[in-house]
A and B are shown apart, each in its own frame.
Chain A
Amino acid sequence: MDRKRQSKGTNSRPPESGVRADLVEKRRMLLETYFENGRQIAGELVSELEAARRRIAELENENARQRMQLKSDSAIRELITKIESLETEREELESRTDAVVLRAQSESERAAAIEQELSNLASLYVAALQLHSSFDPREVVATLGQLLLQFLGAGAYVIYAADRDKLVAVLSEGLAQDLVKSCSIDQGFVGQAVRSAQPFVVREDGTNDPLVVVPLRVGDQLVGVVAVFQLLEQKPSLSPFDLELLQMVSSQGAMALAAARLAAALPGGIPDAIMGIQRT
């Protein structure tokens, strides 16, 4: 109605009404454009806001992920440090274990060497004890023979007793009887050994001479000779201990044999001799 009225009014004043209509129209269009632009801007702002929110969410996610990663990296670093420390500890322990094993091995070898030495000393002690356990020359010679067979491992040997410039074979083992002969003190390899100042002589060539000759001496006096021709099958060669044993045979064997021969030569036996000592 107002418009109609206004239209009527404009009709009464046509030029003014036309201008106002234009202005109204322009204002309307302007307002419409304005609001349209505002709507567009608002829409754009909303879109941008949403995009910004999405971006924030993404960044927050990324941040959380990075934090987790950092945490995980730190845990890995700690684990690596721990592994390195454990590796060092393991190496130290291995080194200590190796040292302990070496020490145990060395101790074990030392214990074995001591046991062996003890065994050797026991053999020497038993041999000497048995050699001096009788004044019967036959028993002393038999003991010497046992010593050569059981302790030295002599498979073939001859024991000679010295009788002035002769060596009389008194006991043999492992040799044919015709090979066991009495001989002169300065004859052959035995004679060479007797003339030498050595307690025993070991043959090193491949002749048929005895393998070992042991002159039995008390001081300068020759009491007898031991000649070993062959070792037992299971005994390939003489050991360092065998040489100690031969040294013992040379001294203790000689003394035992000399003592037994003297005791046997005494007219009244040993008690008379002891009584004689007491009287002087």
Chain B
Amino acid sequence: MTDRLCLVVEDSPMMRQLLVFALARIKSLKVVEADDGVDALRKLTTARFDLIITDINMPVLDGLKLVKKIRSDEVHKDVPIMIVTTEGSAEDRQRALTLGANAYITKPIQAPQVIAKVKELLKLP
């Protein structure tokens, strides 16, 4: 199976590391890390990603603005986006999904839940 490429955008090193740990459980998935939205946009120009996982509350460029930018990007406009955030209200969830996010998971995360959602978005067995 061809390797899939995932971009993890998270300003908290601790959370980023936990996500990378969880995603390492999925074979054939390679992970690239970004510190914030701006770093993510930079990394999006270097490769074609199959999945983007992003936090919402980040300095400089937050997750929702990042989703908006990705959806207007020619290369990545159809790439599945998963939000992982502490914002748990229904309004926040709706806003993210309306902007074009495909999945919304709240923190604290459970690795099995993240893995299942990633597999679903990438249509992995």
CB of B65 within 8 A of chain A?
Answer: no
Find chain A residues with CB under 8 A from B112 CB: 112, 115-116, 119
Determine whether A123 belongs to the interface, using a CB cutoff of 8 Å to chain B.
Answer: yes
Q: Contact: B22 with A150, CB < 8 Å?
A: no
Question: Do the beta carbons of A235 and B18 come within 8 Å of each other?
Answer: no
Mark each residue of chain A from 235 to 246: 1 if its CB lies under 8 Å from any CB of chain B, else 0: 100000000000
> Bound state CA distance, A268 and B55, in angstroms?
39
Asked whether, in the complex, the Cβ of B86 is within 8 Å of the Cβ of A149, the reply is: yes
Interface: B14 (CB within 8 A): yes
Chain A residues with Cβ under 8 A from B14's Cβ? 126-127, 130, 143, 146-147, 150-151
Inter-subunit contact A150/B111 (CB<8 Å): no
Determine whether the beta carbon of A232 is less than 8 Å from that of B107: yes
Asked whether A119 lies within 8 Å of B111 as measured between CB atoms, the reply is: yes
We find that the number of chain A residues with CB closer than 8 angstroms to chain B is 26
Query: Contacts A149-B86, A150-B12, A233-B89 given: A122-B108 contact, CB under 8 Å?
Result: no
Chain B CB within 8 A of A129 CB: yes
> Which residues of A74-126 have CB atoms within 8 Å of chain B's CB atoms?
112, 115-116, 118-119, 122-123, 125-126
Interface residue? A253 (CB, 8 A): no
Q: Does B121 contact A (CB under 8 A)?
A: no
B-side contacts of A150, CB under 8 Å:
12, 14-15, 18, 86, 107-108
User: Chain B's nearest CB lies how many Å from the CB of A266?
Assistant: 25
Q: Does A210 contact B (CB under 8 A)?
A: no
How many A-B residue pairs have C-beta atoms within 8 angstroms? Tell me: 63
Bound: A92/B119 CA distance, A: 37
Beta-carbon nearest neighbor of A239 in chain B: B108
A234 within 8 A of B: yes
Q: Is B106 an interface residue (CB 8 A)?
A: yes
Of A125, A129, A133, A153, which is within 8 A of B107 by CB? A153
Min CB distance B78 to A, Å, is 29
> Is there an interface contact between A119 and B110, defined as CB atoms closer than 8 Å?
yes
- The answer on a CB contact under 8 Å between B110 and A116 is yes
B13 on the A face (CB < 8 A): yes
Q: Which of B32-82 contact A (CB under 8 A)?
A: none
Some 20 contacts from A to B, beta carbons below 8 A apart, are A115-B25, A116-B112, A122-B18, A126-B17, A126-B18, A130-B13, A130-B14, A133-B13, A146-B12, A146-B15, A147-B14, A149-B86, A149-B107, A150-B12, A150-B14, A150-B18, A153-B107, A153-B108, A232-B88, A234-B106
